[in-house]
Amino acid sequence: MLTRRSLLKGVAAAAGTAGVAVACPVRKAEARGAKTMSPDAIGLLYDGTQCIGCRACIAACKEANDMPAEHNLLDIGDYWDSPLDISGSTLNVIKAYRDGTGVHKDAIKDGFAFTKSSCMHCLDPSCVSACPVSAMTKDPTTGIVSYDVDACIGCRYCVTACPFGVPRFTYESATPKISKCQLCKDRLPKGKYAACAEVCPTGATLFGKVTDLKKEIERRRALAPGTMTVFPRGRVGGGDSYVGAVGSYVEHVYGEKEIGGTQVLHLSGVPFALLDKPAIPDIAPARIAESLQEHIYQGMLAPFAFLGALGLLAFRHMREPATPMPSEDSETGGSK
């Protein structure tokens, strides 16, 4: 005969297992492995030391993506198309770090430096993992992270999830959507490539296969600062180039390890912290989140097991052999 005490014990055990399964921290995020880069992955190399701040890339991006001019009311006046940041109508922006008199390029003190903000096209994107309706997807060949406005429900989970703060939302519209750089994927079939790279006069923004871009990075870093060398312009292997001086780079290549690696890589003459590029751990949060989910749910085994136990107990306790329904007052309170 089932006593209350033994029953309690049994349930406690069942609940306890489930609870432990939930509570037990995942030691290693191995449940879901790290994502690797497609060999044909394409991306951008932004070399801050070569950037001259002409902002032709902002204009070209707006034109290629049919984006409107942005109006900012700053303390110093009315500015049209001087975007403060990427937004619902700006997919790519150049920002300037300034210190003191700001006369020396790429100097920390009394200097200035340029930096670019646009989608990093991560190998393990948080936005792709977060989106509940597959509006954010990563192309398996090119690795471009795309946005499908027709699938989107506008929940902005991608906006909260992205550690680089890339996806932006058009809050001012009654039919809003997410905006982010998609590496000009619609121009690729026509033989064109990223507009920002195409128009850049110094090749500071360079388009190409990520493997080629990484080789170019190593080549530049191996040269002494000030060495005159040939810089490709537009796209790697596109034929356009010029001779210029190599910059003095900080050790770090931004995007190499961050979030498990990205397809857009940055070189800079000043520390990235000064450019407000966030410090991001090497393990992708998407990997951690998905591993934890897998661990807890074990392919839905744990929930079903729990459900079985609950169903059994509920059945037993809610059974009423021969008691009438409580249409009036009833002494037995066994039914709902």
Partner 1 sequence: MSAPVHEDHAPSPLGGRFWTRATATLGVLVLVMLAVLALRFVRGLGAVTNLSDGYPWGIWIAFDVVCGSALAAGGFTVAFLTYILNRGAYHPLVRPALLAALFGYVQAGLSIVFDLGRYWNMWHMFWPRYMQVNSVLFEVAVCIASYTLVLGIEATPMVLERLGWMTARRRLGRVLFVFVAIGVLLPTMHQSSLGSLLIVLGPQIHPLYQTLLLPALFLVSCVGMGLAAVVFEATVSSLAWHRPFERELLAKLMNIGRLLAGLFLVMRFADLTVRGVWPYAFQKNVVTAAFWLEILLFAAPIVLLWKPAARRNPQRLFLSAVAMASAGMTYRLSAYLIAYDTGAGWTYFPSVGELAVSAGLVSLEALAFIACVRMLPVLPRIAEPTQPRAPAHADT
Partner 2 sequence: MTTMHRTLPAFRTHEGEAAAAEERDIASVEERIGIPRRQFLTIFAGVVAAIGLPSSAFATVVKAVAQARRPSVIWLHFQECTGCTESLLRAEHPTIEKLILDVISLDYHETLMAAAGHQAEAARHQAMKENKGKYILVVEGAIPTGEHGVYCKIGGQTAIEMLKECAQDAAAVIAIGSCASWGGMPSTSPNPTGASPVAAILGKPVVTIPGCPPNPYNFLTTVVHYLTLGTLPELDAKGRPKFAYGRLIHENCERRAHFDAGRFAKEFGDDGHRQGWCLYKLGCKGPETYANCPSILFGDAGTGTWPVGCGHPCIGCTEEGVGFTKPIHSLARLLTVTPPTQFARPAETQGKGATVASVATVAVVGGLAVGAGAMIARNLGKVPDDHHVVDPDHEAKTAKTADSGKR
Closest distance between partner 2 and the C-beta of residue 26, in Å? Answer: 34
What phi and psi values does residue 22 have, to the nearest 5 degrees? Answer: -75, -40
User: Among 11, 13, 69, 84, which residue sits at the site for partner 2 (rule: CB under 8 A)?
Assistant: 84
d(C-alpha 115, C-alpha 120), whole Å: 13
Could you tell which of partner 2, partner 1, none binds residue 76, using a CB distance below 5 to 8 A set by kind?
A: partner 2
Residue carrying the six token digits 């995942």: 26
DSSP symbols for 152-201: -----HHHHH-TT---EE-TTSSS--EE---TTTTTGGGT---HHHHH-T
User: Among 244, 288, 292, 310, which residue sits at the site for partner 2 (rule: CB under 8 A)?
Assistant: 244
Chain positions 98 to 137 lying near partner 2, rule: CB under 8 A, are 98, 101-103, 105, 112, 114-115
Q: Residue 198 or residue 258: which is nearer to partner 1 going by CB? A: 258
What proportions of the chain, in percent to the nearest 5, are helix, strand and coil?
Answer: 30, 20, 50
Count residues near partner 2 (CB under 8 A).
Answer: 43
Cα angle value 239/46/34 (rounded, 5°): 110
Type of residue numbered 160: T
Q: Residue 248 or residue 293: which is nearer to partner 1 going by CB? A: 293
Instruction: Examine residue 207 and tell whether it contacts partner 2 (CB under 8 A).
Output: no
Q: Residue 92 or residue 126: which is nearer to partner 1 going by CB? A: 126
C-alpha 159: how far from chain center: 9
Closest distance between partner 1 and the C-beta of residue 291, in Å? Answer: 9
Could you tell which of partner 2, partner 1, none binds residue 97, using a CB distance below 5 to 8 A set by kind?
A: partner 2
Q: Residue 103 or residue 174: which is nearer to partner 2 going by CB? A: 103
DSSP symbols for 234-301: SBTTSS-EEEEEPP---S--BTSSGGG-BSEEEE-SS-GGGGTPPP--SS-HHHHHHHHHHHHHGGGH
Could you tell which of partner 1, partner 2, none binds residue 314, using a CB distance below 5 to 8 A set by kind?
A: partner 1
User: Among 40, 186, 218, 276, which residue sits at the site for partner 2 (rule: CB under 8 A)?
Assistant: 276
Chain positions 6 to 65 lying near partner 2, rule: CB under 8 A, are 52-57, 59-60
Tell which residue, 172, 122, 110, 173, has the closest CA to residue 283.
Answer: 122
Q: Residue 9 or residue 219: which is nearer to partner 1 going by CB? A: 9
Where do contacts with partner 2 occur on this chain (CB under 8 A)?
52-57, 59-60, 74, 76, 79, 82-85, 93-98, 101-103, 105, 112, 114-115, 199-202, 242-245, 274-277, 332-334
